[in-house]
């Protein structure tokens, strides 16, 4: 299972004939890679299940559920491992829909929320935003949308739970526009809600899809009636139709008509109403992703932009997951293919290490099982076994020196101080934290003026995982304690003197992270603001890019 072997095997010629630009272009064009952004309980798990039902990957439904029920497990290591084993199996789901290859990347939420959640969004080409229509825009949605905005990722919106009493649909659109600062283009419009939910009107097709409750409908075949003025509708829903016509008039006047270019630029989101649990409106979402969302696009690789249709293979690692398979303590590096054609057994260059590696054992994520991947194209995710030689942000190619950009680190929201029970283990602790920091499992800050190491994370589960891994992989029994630090900002400046004065004067709250970047550890938001005001020559950053 070694992925780094001496290159003694020349198997490139056999595949050369198949490696035609036309084939690659065709495969790239039919790929759609997206993630779901939502606040906990908006319906992401339910929707994921239904999306997979359409693709025929029905066995997945159980897996997604299994994952969900396991997520409130205790901090016991075995439990975490079990939970992660399940979540990883479903963390990349590839399926076919209407002759397209769809890659759905899971964005861990709830307790699983971690920096991975953010980084996954750097590997997608579009995102599906799920909103609970009874609640509207919620905190986590805002955070995740901000991450999408860093790359102008196109967003499709699903207003879920219309079978419940929801907020007024017009008010929901208004909230999206004002809070998320994104133009809304309703594509479907709900007829009633809750007990009186009758269906949706498709504004572009002038058809009405009638709602019918029921969970098990896999084909999504709901009755369709053509034309908003169809007399049959008037007979069926005399009251609702008048109301609908009025609302549609209003919506058409007050909102933006759908514009593909605006959507692709990340400026506008098409909005669909439905009910995931009833599988209602789900197929429309999938169709929108296939019809409108972009195939893999050019990516910035510092020295130049890489076109996905180029023949040479390139890609980058956006996530590293440990202990995927409870039976093997391996780590898997998740690599997003950016161009060319990947074939099992091919040699690729690990650009940071400047070394050729032969990738013979690779997994892909078809349905619920990990399978050996034979080939992959831009947009696909492949899992490389990793024995500690790969880090988040690492770029791979067939030889050209490239560095894919845009893998951000986010200022942590949670902090812990680390202490060890056995002081003789201090070296192991530092080594372990250095490696876990480089891997991106947690952020490690070393205060300039002594003091204990400070760990930062965007989700609290990260600390438990790190504690368990320190014990299991490095033999260090560490104690994590609360700290007075409440936020962190990376600090930079052209003014070297100002930077060194800053270090000298605020040394207890100034620290270096695992990659050697200077950061300020603030005790409160007021403290952060005052410090920023007092040091006008310094810039304070809430994110930093992988270097
Ligand atoms: P997640 O936390 O975003 O993954 O949300 P889930 O998919 O687990 O859904 C949260 C809760 O909302 C569950 O109890 C679901 O059964 C429920 N739910 C999801 N979709 C719908 C829907 O369309 N209508 C109703 N009434 N409940 C829903």
Residue 108 is labelled as binding a ligand: yes
So what's the pLDDT on residue 153? 96
Query: Which residue's CA is the nearest one to ligand 1's atom 2?
Result: 41
So what's the pLDDT on residue 5? 42
So what's the pLDDT on residue 217? 58
So what's the pLDDT on residue 459? 83
Query: Cα separations (Å) of 170 from 173, 247, 500?
Result: 5, 9, 53
Residue 107 is labelled as binding a ligand: yes
Give how far the C-alpha of residue 410 lies from the chain's centroid of Cα atoms, to the nearest Å.
Answer: 14
Task: Specify whether the backbone of 517 is left (phi greater than 0), alpha (psi in -120 to 50) or beta.
Answer: beta
* CA-based max dimension of the chain: 83
- Pocket residues: Cβ below 6 A from ligand 1: 38, 40-46, 68, 160-161, 163-164, 275-278
Name the residue of 40, 41, 113, 132 whose CB sits within 8 Å of the most ligand 1 atoms, as the mutation to test its pocket. Answer: 41
So what's the pLDDT on residue 74? 29
Q: How far is the CA of 161 from the centre of ligand 1 (A)?
A: 8
Name the residue of 277, 278, 284 whose CB sits within 8 Å of the most ligand 1 atoms, as the mutation to test its pocket. Answer: 277
Residue 308 is labelled as binding a ligand: no
So what's the pLDDT on residue 73? 30
Q: How far is the CA of 360 from the centre of ligand 1 (A)?
A: 40
- Kindly report whether the global pTM for this prediction surpasses the value 0.90: no
Closest Cα partner for 31 from 258, 256, 339, 241?
A: 339
- Average confidence (pLDDT) per 10 residues, the chain, 547 residues: 42 54 94 95 90 63 42 34 42 85 84 80 96 95 90 96 96 96 96 94 95 70 89 90 92 92 98 95 94 96 95 92 56 89 88 83 51 80 78 91 85 92 89 84 89 88 87 90 94 95 93 91 95 97 76
So what's the pLDDT on residue 59? 41
Element at 53 (helix H, strand E): helix 44-55
For residues 125 and 109, the answer to whether their CB atoms sit within 8 Å is no
Query: Which residue's CA is the nearest one to ligand 1's atom 11?
Result: 41
So what's the pLDDT on residue 92? 82
Report yes or no for ipTM above 0.90.
Answer: yes
So what's the pLDDT on residue 323? 53
**Which residues have a Cβ under 8 Å from the Cβ of 421 and sit 6 or more positions away?**
477, 478, 479
Q: What is the DSSP letter of 295?
A: P
């Amino acid at each position: 299972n070694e992925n780094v072997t001496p290159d003694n095997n020349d198997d490139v010629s056999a595949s050369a004939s198949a490696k035609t630009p036309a084939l690659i272009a065709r495969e790239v064009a039919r790929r759609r890679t997206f993630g779901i952004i939502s606040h906990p309980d908006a319906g992401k798990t339910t929707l994921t299940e239904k999306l997979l039902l359409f693709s025929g990957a029905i066995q997945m439904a159980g897996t997604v559920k299994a994952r969900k029920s396991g997520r409130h497990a205790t901090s016991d290591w075995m439990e975490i491992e079990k939970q992660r084993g399940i979540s990883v199996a479903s963390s990349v789901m590839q399926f076919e829909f209407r002759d397209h290859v769809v890659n759905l990347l899971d964005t861990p939420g709830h307790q699983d929320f971690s920096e991975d959640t953010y980084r996954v969004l750097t590997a997608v080409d579009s995102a599906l935003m799920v909103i609970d229509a009874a609640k509207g825009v919620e905190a986590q949605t805002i955070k995740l949308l901000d991450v999408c905005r860093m790359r102008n990722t196109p967003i499709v919106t699903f207003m879920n739970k219309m079978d419940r009493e929801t907020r007024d649909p017009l008010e929901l659109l208004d909230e999206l526009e004002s809070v998320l600062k994104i133009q809304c283009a309703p594509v479907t419009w709900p007829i009633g809600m809750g007990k009186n939910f009758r269906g949706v009107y498709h504004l572009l097709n002038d058809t009405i899809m009638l709602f019918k409750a029921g969970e098990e409908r896999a084909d999504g075949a709901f009755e369709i009636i053509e034309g908003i003025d169809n007399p049959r509708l008037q007979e069926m829903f005399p009251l609702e139709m008048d109301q609908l016509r009025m609302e549609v008039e209003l919506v058409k006047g007050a909102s933006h008509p759908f514009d593909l270019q605006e959507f692709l630029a990340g400026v506008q989101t098409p909005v669909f109403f439905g009910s995931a649990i009833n599988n209602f409106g789900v197929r429309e979402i999938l169709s929108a992703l296939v019809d409108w969302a972009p195939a893999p696009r050019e990516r910035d690789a510092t020295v130049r932009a890489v076109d996905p249709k180029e023949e040479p293979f390139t890609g980058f690692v956006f996530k590293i997951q440990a202990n995927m398979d409870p039976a093997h303590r391996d780590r898997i590096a998740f690599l997003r293919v950016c161009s060319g054609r990947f074939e099992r057994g091919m040699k690729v260059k690990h650009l940071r290490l400047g070394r050729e590696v032969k990738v013979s054992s690779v997994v892909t994520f078809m349905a619920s099982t990990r399978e050996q991947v034979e080939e992959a194209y831009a947009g696909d995710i492949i899992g490389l076994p990793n024995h500690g030689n790969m880090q988040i942000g690492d770029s791979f190619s067939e030889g050209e020196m490239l560095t894919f950009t845009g893998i951000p680190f986010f200022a942590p929201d949670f902090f812990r101080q680390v202490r060890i029970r056995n002081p003789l283990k201090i070296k192991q602790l530092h080594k372990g934290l250095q490696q876990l920091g480089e891997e991106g499992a947690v952020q490690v800050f070393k205060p300039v003026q002594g003091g204990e190491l400070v760990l930062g994370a965007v989700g609290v589960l990260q600390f438990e995982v790190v504690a368990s891994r320190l014990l299991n992989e490095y033999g260090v029994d560490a104690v994590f304690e609360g700290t007075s630090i409440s936020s962190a900002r990376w600090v930079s400046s052209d003014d070297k003197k100002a930077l060194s004065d800053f270090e000298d004067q605020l040394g207890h709250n100034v620290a270096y992270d695992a990659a050697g970047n200077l950061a300020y550890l603030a005790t409160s938001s007021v403290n952060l603001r005052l410090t920023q005001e007092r040091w006008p020559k310094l810039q304070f950053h809430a994110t930093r890019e992988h270097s």
